[in-house]
Structure 1
Amino acid sequence: MKKFELTSEFITNVLGTKLFRIKALIEFGDVSAGELGGYIEKEENLAQDGNAWVCGNAEVYGNAWVYGNAKVYGNAEVYGNAWVYGNAEVCGNAEVYGNAWVYGNAWVYGNAEVCGDAEVCGDAKVYGNAEVCGDADYSTVKGFGRIFRTTTFFRTKDKAIGVNCGCFYGTLEEFRDKVRETHGDSKTAKEYLMLADLMEYKFSREMDVEEEVNQ
């Protein structure tokens, strides 16, 4: 049994692609039967099984696929060959495209962009004006800190290094300052600062490689 259908209501996006608003045919997850959703190009963009849903003004098109328990909402766009699945959420004005995968419990929101061959997974959160492009621009480490949290390092649009750790979101230097302020000279602080040094080296090395390739 199908869980949704394409309605006759449609929009045409900036690429000239016609996208149809969807309508739930049955109750599933937190979606009620008869509820209107967001816009997709074709049925293949959203799985007919599972609790995955597209709502609000969100758009999914091209060969993109949303499935599992994933949600795409707000003004978000998922397109190209991108996949969003698991319990992942893409919202706000975020864009996921190219061959990117967003899955697990990951969140992508705000004005963030995930593209290329990038993978955002686990408990990672990418937001603000962050841009994640390919494997070289994103690293997640787990098991650090007093509660063994996940820390995400990524390259921003202005080529700086951004950090998301728990409720903290900022630059690498702001992260170091916050660590010293919160943890002083403890073992936890030393671990985080060593991790920051490693990520700084990692991203600077990759930028050097890119410059050599482009010369």
Structure 2
Amino acid sequence: MRRYFCENNMSKKYEFVPGDEITIAPGRTVKRIRALVAIATLGIVPGDLGGYVESEANLAQVSGNAWVSGDAQVSGDAWVSGNAQVYGDAWVSGNAQVYGDARVSGNAQVSGNAWVSGNAQVYGDARVSGNAQVSGNAQVYGDARVSGNAWVSGNAWVSGNAQVSGNAQVSGNAQVSGNAQVSGNAQVYGDARVSGNAQVYGNAWVSGNAWVSGNAWVSGDAQVSGDARVSGNAQVSGNAQVSGNAWVSGDAQVSGRGLIFWASIVGTENGTLTVYNAKDDTLLVTRGCFSGTVDEFLAKSAKVHDDRIKREYQLLIEVAASRIEAALAETAKPEDADTAKSR
């Protein structure tokens, strides 16, 4: 909703510069502003030129130290208030709001019904649109996109070509970067990272110090937490849980809680052995820098480990294989029953 003011010039913070305007649409212009008062916190003195606004309904005239500078533009029903700053070549339009101590700069654009508040920063070529909210100390930059009803808050960073959309939430100290996508009702929080071409969607959660990278997908009701790693072309879905120091990579396909097994403080380095299901229903193993099939791992173990360590790995893999086989059988039951009924 457009705001209307009835104030005398003595109370106003800025005025329009006659003749310095830019047409943004037929019948609509944004006009350069000029400071009428000093804003000490910004180093602004009376007479300093600011950026462009469409009307006084775009930038608070009296309260706060909000300012638009450079060639930045604020138009439509957008509102900049508090101590917020919009500068560089940034655009704020639609019904967007920038307030608190927020900063929008560079070539960034905030549009639609989006809000940027607190100490949040949106800069570079980033876009925040729809009903999205960026708050706290969050930063959205590079070519990142935050849209839909997504929230980015806390100390979270969204950068590169990353996209956060739908009802997704990125919070805490989480980082989403590269070409990563977080969508649906997904949540990424804590110190978690999502990078590369990874996707987190559905109702999935990634938290703790977990890292999802490469071309990995985490979806459904899956949870990745602790110090877990999901990388390569791995897919974690359904109600699967990957936590602790587990590491899932390669062509893994973990679609339920029972399709992964890990044991920590094993081997000569007291590391973590992770055994999980692959897309072709073979078993894969990750241990330290090794990632491959069970047979490949046992063959390597036979070469480098003594009999005790070798036997421990064999036993752990037997337990893992037994549990994963049972989980696969349990998963197949409903499908088999449906098949039988159809016959």
Equivalent residue for 1:79, pick from 180, 183, 197: 183
| Change in CA separation of 1:35 and 1:98 when aligned onto 2, cut-off 3 Å | closer
Return the offset for 1:2. Answer: 5.8
Equivalent residue for 2:234, pick from 96, 119, 130: 130
Unaligned runs of 5+ in 2: 1-99, 112-125, 129-133, 241-255, 337-343
In structure 2, what is the Cα distance between the partners aligned to 1:165 and 1:201?
19
Q: Give the number of aligned pairs.
A: 197
| Change in CA separation of 1:139 and 1:120 when aligned onto 2, cut-off 3 Å | farther
In structure 2, what is the Cα distance between the partners aligned to 1:197 and 1:4?
56
TM-score for the superposition, normalised by structure 2: 0.51
Q: In 2, are the aligned partners of 1:132 and 1:154 still within 8 Å (CA)?
A: no
Q: Which residue of 1 aligns with 2:109?
A: 8
Equivalent residue for 1:154, pick from 276, 280, 285: 276
Q: In 1, are the aligned partners of 2:177 and 2:196 still within 8 Å (CA)?
A: yes
Q: In 1, are the aligned partners of 2:141 and 2:158 still within 8 Å (CA)?
A: no
Highest relative contact order (Cα 8 Å, sep 6+), 1 or 2? 1
The sequence identity of aligned pairs, in percent, is 40
Q: Which residue of 2 aligns with 1:207?
A: 328
The Cα offsets for residues 65-104 of structure 1, whole Å up to 9 and x where unpaired, read as: 1111111111111111211122211111111112211122
Q: Greater shift after overlay, 37-46 or 55-64?
A: 37-46
Equivalent residue for 2:144, pick from 11, 20, 38: 38
TM-score for the superposition, normalised by structure 1: 0.78
Q: Greater shift after overlay, 156-165 or 67-76?
A: 156-165
Counterpart of 1:203 in 2: which secondary structure? helix
| Change in CA separation of 1:118 and 1:68 when aligned onto 2, cut-off 3 Å | same
| Change in CA separation of 1:66 and 1:35 when aligned onto 2, cut-off 3 Å | closer
Return the offset for 1:9. Answer: 7.2
Pairing 1:174-213 to 2, within 5 Å after superposition: 174-185=296-307, 187-213=308-334
In structure 2, what is the Cα distance between the partners aligned to 1:61 and 1:44?
5
One-letter amino acid matched to 2:216? A
Q: In 1, are the aligned partners of 2:263 and 2:272 still within 8 Å (CA)?
A: yes
RMSD value over aligned CA atoms? Answer: 2.9
| Change in CA separation of 1:37 and 1:115 when aligned onto 2, cut-off 3 Å | same
Q: Do structure 1's residue 112 and structure 2's residue 216 form an aligned pair? A: yes
Q: Which residue of 1 aligns with 2:197?
A: 93
Return the offset for 1:131. Answer: 1.0
Counterpart of 2:232 in 1: which secondary structure? coil
Return the offset for 1:59. Answer: 1.0
Pairing 1:59-70 to 2, within 5 Å after superposition: 59-70=163-174
Q: Which runs of 4+ in 1 moved over 4 A?
A: 1-6
| Change in CA separation of 1:64 and 1:43 when aligned onto 2, cut-off 3 Å | closer
Bigger fraction of residues in helix: 1
Return the offset for 1:161. Answer: 2.6
Q: In 1, are the aligned partners of 2:149 and 2:165 still within 8 Å (CA)?
A: no
In structure 2, what is the Cα distance between the partners aligned to 1:5 and 1:172?
52
